[in-house]
């Protein structure tokens, strides 16, 4: 194998996952729309539960948690992920990923509009081995 061919072969072996390169992975829109229940459960209510004083309808909370996960896992730093529930809407903006030991972490801000009132919370989540994210307190 020539040196050029070998170099080209190696170039195809790079990894683009967040856990290896600290960069969001581009996936098809269909893949990005739904995260499994296990991935969502690891967020332990996410920032959305800190933002809703009266509680939040289960369906709206599910939408918000899906979007929190997708923002952490796939979204470029500073890019907003918008969501709309029946009685509440919001946006999640993740910051640049960083590494702590062997774990990838990201700070992010979740802003909601509920009854015409806007509120926001900031938090940090770290990625677990199985691909889930855990919100730090």
Count of structural domains, the chain: 1
Residue 6 in any domain: the answer is no
- Report the alpha-carbon distance of residue 18 to residue 61 in Å, rounded: 25
Structural domain range at position 51 = 20-135
Residue 7 in any domain: the answer is no
pLDDT in tens, 50-89: 887 667 888 999 999 999 999 999 999 999 999 999 989 9
Question: Could you tell me where the DSSP H helices lie in 12-128?
Answer: 18-21, 29-32, 37-41, 48-51, 58-74
What average pLDDT is seen over the chain?
Answer: 78
Residue 126 in any domain: the answer is yes
Residue 14 in any domain: the answer is no
pTM (predicted TM-score): 0.72
Question: Who wins on pLDDT, 20 or 121?
Answer: 121
pLDDT in tens, 79-117: 999 999 998 999 999 999 999 999 999 999 999 998 899
Residue 80 in any domain: the answer is yes
């Amino acid at each position: 194998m020539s040196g050029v061919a070998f170099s080209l072969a190696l170039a195809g072996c790079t990894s683009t996952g967040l856990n290896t390169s600290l960069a969001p992975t581009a996936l098809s829109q269909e893949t990005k729309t739904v995260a499994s229940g296990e991935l969502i459960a690891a967020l332990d209510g996410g920032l959305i539960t800190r933002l809703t004083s009266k509680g939040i309808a289960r369906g709206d909370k599910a939408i918000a948690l899906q979007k929190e996960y997708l923002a952490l896992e796939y979204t470029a730093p500073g890019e907003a992920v918008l969501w709309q529930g029946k009685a509440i809407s919001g946006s999640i903006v993740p910051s640049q990923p960083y590494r702590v030991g062997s774990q990838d972490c990201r700070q992010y801000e979740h802003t909601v509009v509920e009854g015409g009132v806007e509120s926001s919370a900031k938090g940090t989540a770290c990625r677990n081995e199985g691909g889930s994210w855990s919100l730090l307190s």
